[in-house]
Amino acid sequence: MNMMKKAEFSDDWLTGLRRVVSDPTLYALLKNCPLEIMQRWAFEDIPRGAAICRQGDICRRFSLIVAGEVDVFFEADDGRRYRQARYGKGDMLGELEIFDSRNYICSVVAVSNTQLLSLSQAHFERWLTLDNHFNQRMLRFFSQQYYQLSKKASSDSLYSLHQRVCQALWLRYEQQGTATFLLDKQNLSQEFAATTRSINRILHDLKTLRIIDSDGERIVLLAPEKLKQEAET
């Protein structure tokens, strides 16, 4: 990296490079990237709420998340969104579609202010031929991605919407260690490919059973063991 003269690169590029070098996760991923590929990196700042990829468009670049979070979702013809995953630092975008310039399977939207490192298709493929370390990380990423998507697909097939909502409530209860927490219904409806109305109906049923109480997005868990039973049966 000392071989590069600062005058040859923009301030945005140098800022992005410093972020990569100073972050252990990013550095471990990119430390063996050849100089000829590093010189082609483009750092992009994406504001919260902005679209990064649109379902159906042709993929022409590979991107790595340097900072921030994004939602990956499939959009049905009727406008419903089915969230596949939430990605963060070190995750990749366009890695499935870029090899043959395929159409994006899903859309990607920035959940927070996000910075991406991007490469054109030609330079990305050149990187793979030169950097075996990155090749191995790509294989691990594919494996992890396939595992998580398979796990989610199995859950969606085996459990009813009622059970999945109860499981989501139970998970938040376990994670936060408190019986009072906030529930983003819109986010949940996208995760489960269900209407907000359906989510509200299930919450109303749980309220009638005195398992929860609710006030807008605020949930109060009244009977944790009963909720757990609802999630399992």
148 pLDDT band, cuts 50/70/90, is confident
The reported pLDDT for the residue numbered 131 is 95
For the stretch 169-202, pLDDT in tens is: 998 898 888 899 888 888 888 778 777 888 889 9
The reported pLDDT for the residue numbered 6 is 46
The reported pLDDT for the residue numbered 8 is 67
Predicted model pTM: 0.69
CATH class of domain segment(s) 11-145: mainly beta
The reported pLDDT for the residue numbered 214 is 87
The reported pLDDT for the residue numbered 94 is 94
Strands (E), 34-190: 42-46, 51-53, 61-67, 70-75, 81-87, 92-93, 107-110, 114-120, 180-182
Residue 208 tokens read as 């009638």
Q: What is the mean pLDDT of the chain?
A: 88
Look at 54 and 5; give whichever has higher pLDDT.
54
For the stretch 50-90, pLDDT in tens is: 999 999 999 999 999 999 999 999 988 877 788 888 999 99
CATH architecture of the domain formed by 157-232: Orthogonal Bundle (1.10)
- Specify which of 114-123, 138-147, 173-182 reaches the highest per-range mean pLDDT: 114-123
Q: What is the mean pLDDT of residues 9-36?
A: 90
What's the first-to-final CA gap in the chain, in angstroms?
58
Nearest to 221 by CA among 159, 175, 152: 175
213 pLDDT band, cuts 50/70/90, is very high
User: Which residue ranges make up each domain of the chain?
Assistant: 11-145, 157-232
Between CA 15 and CA 23, with CA 18 as vertex, the angle to 5 degrees is 130
Q: 73-82, 106-115, 125-134: lowest mean pLDDT where?
A: 73-82
